[in-house]
């Protein structure tokens, strides 16, 4: 279980980094060379999704909850914006949804 959740977190970081670097290029006028590590990060993200132990649809649904949580952490740690109570509540609900989807008894 811990391995699956850790894999979700690494996957989310790869996706966020892969999207954040083009954002820096487009919105903040940074170097277009940022697109190279962005593309590599998104390729890593796609590969990491294949390592998850269950059906793709279930993985994508559960991954979405972890992505929300990691994005809120990114907001705080990288963008320097402290999350509101509502941000934290939403991220907690998303993580609870991930847990229900991934760790419910299978039929």
Q: How confident is the model at residue 24 (pLDDT cuts 50, 70, 90)?
A: very high
Query: What was the pLDDT predicted at 49?
Result: 84
Q: Could you list the residue range(s) of the whole structural domain that residue 80 is in?
A: 2-103
Q: Tokens in use for 64?
A: 């979405």
Shortest CA distance to 10 belongs to which of 67, 81, 60? Answer: 67
Q: Tokens in use for 88?
A: 């934290």
- Total domains, the chain: 1
Buried b (16+ CB within 10 A) or exposed e, 42-74: bebbeebbeebeeeeeebeebbbbbbbbbbbbb
Please write the tens of the pLDDT for every residue from 84-102: 999 999 999 999 998 888 8
Query: What was the pLDDT predicted at 58?
Result: 78
Cα three-residue angle 103-90-11, rounded to 5 degrees: 55
pTM: 0.82
């Amino acid at each position: 279980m811990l391995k699956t959740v850790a894999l979700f977190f690494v996957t989310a970081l790869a996706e966020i980094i892969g999207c954040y670097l083009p954002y820096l290029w487009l919105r903040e006028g940074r170097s277009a060379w940022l697109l190279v590590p962005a593309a590599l990060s998104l390729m890593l993200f796609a590969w990491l999704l294949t390592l998850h132990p269950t059906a793709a649809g279930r993985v994508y649904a559960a991954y979405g909850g972890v992505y929300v949580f990691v994005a809120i952490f990114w907001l705080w740690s990288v963008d320097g914006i402290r999350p509101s109570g509502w941000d934290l509540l939403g991220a907690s609900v998303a993580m609870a949804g991930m847990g229900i989807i991934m760790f419910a008894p299978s039929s």
